[in-house]
Amino acid sequence: MSLSSQIRRKVLQTTKNLSSTDVTTVNRNPRNLELLQFSYKPSGYHLEKPGRCFWNKLQLNVSGRYVKAAIQHYKSDVVVKADTSEWAIRKQLFRTTDRTAFVNLARVFAHRCHAAGISEMYCDVQGAEGSKVEAFLKTLEENGIVLSEPERIKPDGL
């Protein structure tokens, strides 16, 4: 008897056993419902000025020496972050606050977002035309990050 026929027989036996028992699965990804757009999206209070209707929000902080980009989840703190004060990024830059720093920070940030499985986020950051912030946002979009979140799919009857 060949090895492949033994494996085939073993697979058939295990699938017969599985069909006779009740199989349950456990979702180990707590943000899976957000990706499927079924999860609750908080709307905040009506008196809040910027509002809070997002799952993931882009935060861009520009200081005198460094630029910091982060994604804030509505339930927890920072999910993904990158800044020009990190040694690996700072060593590759001539200045940590010029236009090339913004563009390269956006590339690194987009790569980290894709590695974390985040491709859509709410963005209330607005850059003037031709500014460094606009270059940052444009580079994010060029690298596959969507700067708006889709609407929540509401179940029937709600």
Domain that holds residue 98: 32-142
Domain assignment present for residue 156? The answer is: no
Domain assignment present for residue 10? The answer is: no
Q: Each residue of 7-26: pLDDT tens digit?
A: 666 666 666 655 555 566 67
Domain assignment present for residue 4? The answer is: no
Percent of the chain with pLDDT over 70: 80
Domain assignment present for residue 147? The answer is: no
Confidence of residue 91 (pLDDT cuts 50, 70, 90): very high
The CA-atom distances, in angstroms, between 136 and each of 74, 79, 88, 114 are 23, 19, 19, 16
pLDDT of residue 98: 93
Domain assignment present for residue 24? The answer is: no
Domain assignment present for residue 2? The answer is: no
Structural domains counted in the chain: 1
CATH code, 134: 3.30.420.80
Q: Each residue of 120-155: pLDDT tens digit?
A: 999 998 888 989 999 999 999 999 999 998 888 777
- CA pair distance 43, 70, nearest whole angstrom: 21
- CA pair distance 87, 157, nearest whole angstrom: 52
